[in-house]
Structure 1
Amino acid sequence: MEKLAREDNAFIRPSPSEGALGGVALRTRETMLLCEAAGYDVILVETVGVGQSEYEVASMVDFFLVLMLPNAGDDLQGIKRGIMELADALVVNKSDGPNQGLAQQTKNHYSNAFHLLQHDGFWKPQILTCSSLENTGIETVWDMILDYQEQGKSHSNEEGLNLFEDKRARQNREWLNTLVKDMLEQELKSHPPVQSALPKLRSAVQENSVTPYSAAHQIIQLFLNKQDPS
């Protein structure tokens, strides 16, 4: 990161998470669009790797790469099956010096694990090793990403849209659904009649005098001004 920060053609923007898990900011998608509009053709989104953030990032990027450290044995069980199913590639970093053998062993373990998973689509996830210290394997990783893009653009769905653009279209649809949910939640939080009724409804649900469904229905009716808040 220190080396990249000195590059004239690179722009690095820390994004406060604002309470979101894994450091994925609420405006990450908008930031990506802004950078793309500014002419940046390669945009990297980095997470701190706490689980939920990986699922969020996978829904907004073209290529989802999981970076791992050399480990062996029981430590390999720590990676979640869901994340492996999302990954377009897994790269074992720090494959240098005394870690080379362990890095290769880690790669082999993950390769065996990937064989047990089903991956749909045109791309078969790959497992590679690299060393950022010795600058080895980096070009191979980049070539793999370019190959993914090329293969995606050379295959089409039933509507004739290439699979690379089809993935972006599906992500935009998911983004729309997420935005609608988030905006509705914010509207509910700022709606006086709803906020006034919430404590009483929560207590009623807790005491089993009102079902959660009935309470939710009342909240929506209040929000739509179809029910007397009294």
Structure 2
Amino acid sequence: MKKKRIVLLTTISLLFLGSTMVSADYSSNHVLGGKNRTGGVFKYWLDSSVASYGYTNSITNAKTNWNAVPNAGIFLFETSDADDAEIKYYVTNNELGSGVFGAADFWDRNSNGKLSFLSPTSVMSGTNFDMTRIRLDYGRMTSANFTSAERNHNAGHETGHAMSLSHFEDYPAHTGNHWMKSGQISLNSPTSTDADHLVWKWPAP
């Protein structure tokens, strides 16, 4: 299988039955220091490009499966108000870098609603944010012959970044495939390792 990296932009199944939690690493390599200021309730908005390219189901799958993680204090739901969204989804066509299937970046919103870009290093080290922009690249995925399950992984992976999860292949790497591991991976839902990190970052109140 070809493996190409899904990046957290640097200019930036639920399978709990019979599974066990593995030893976790909660450093900023795996869990970003910063988090969305509004808490664990994430309103998301879909640009018209999402439906145009046929990615609505993949984002719905990401929402449904992240929401189903036991003991996590998060809730994702769709809003029609782009200005009020904590997550904005777009689908591009060969606009990201070669071998990049998806990207997430972080933004501040001032009192007038104007957004300003935050550097990924500042978010990694603890700067909080108001909005995450997620871009899924239809052209890159099509060229790589992505299956439905691989598209679901891509959408779930980038949504995980919006909830402050980082890459599981970064040292110390977790073995096996996970939603937060980069690459062309066939995985429809987060693993117990993904869930463990989400609950650590967003424990249920």
Sort the TM-score into its range (normalised by shorter chain): under 0.3
The structure where strand makes up a greater share of residues is 2
TM-score of the superposition, structure 2-length normalised? 0.23
Considering only CA atoms, is the larger Rg found in Structure 1 or Structure 2? 1
The structure where helix makes up a greater share of residues is 1
Higher RCO structure, 1 or 2 (CA under 8 Å, sep 6+)? 2
TM-score of the superposition, structure 1-length normalised? 0.22
